[in-house]
Amino acid sequence: MVLDASGEAVIEDVVEACRRGDADAFRELFETYKDRVYSIALRYSGNPAAAMDIAQDTFVKLLSRIGEYRSEASFDSWLYRLVVNSCIDDQRRGRRIAPFLDGLIDAVCAPAESVLHKLMRAETEQRVQDVVARLAPEHRIVIVLRYTEGLSYDEIAGIVGCSPGTVASRLNRAHKILERRLAHLRPEQGAKS
């Protein structure tokens, strides 16, 4: 394996070694990406057990389809597409989907230290998860990729197979739906905290 200046394996070389059947190369890919894959799966499914199944399915797909990877796109984008497909496959199998959106929850609940505030925050988190769970899959996945992975519109477009304009449209639509469905959680205008 070829290492860069920092001692890290160069991803293209690791992928090529994996294509040749090098078990150490696959282990390297797994170790490098396991946390990211699990994070996306958990945010999408809302269920640690389901996220583990999705992550496992993703790495099985990676191993069986590594020969399909073409270096025109980044390996990260190709892998994200495998994760998205595994999430969709998992949904088709009937799992409950409930992603978690920290930023939205933080906007609704001001941080506080009292037990009452902690209970209110937990209840709000559950309500937000329930609302996000009811989003259409094409809206839910762009929310997960944008807010949990911090991907750009272009990156999301490449992963979900649409244009950046479509990503923007889906995010806009999801924001409007979330705003409408969560409006009851906002403090009233003029109310003091």
- Rg (C-alpha) for the chain, rounded Å, is 19
The CATH architecture that domain 11-92 belongs to is Orthogonal Bundle (1.10)
Verdict on whether the full-model pTM lies above 0.95: no
Domain 11-92 identical in fold to domain 102-185: no
Q: Domain segments of the chain: what residues?
A: 11-92, 102-185
pLDDT of residue 9: 54
Please check whether residue 136 is in contact with residue 156, taking contact to mean a CB–CB distance below 8 angstroms: no
pLDDT of residue 10: 82
Tell which wins on pLDDT, 166 or 47. 166
- The CATH class that applies to domain 102-185 reads mainly alpha
Range from 4-18, 87-101, 165-179 carrying the lowest mean pLDDT: 87-101
Mean pLDDT of 59-77: 86
**Measuring CA to CA, which residue among 52, 16, 15 is closest to residue 37?**
52
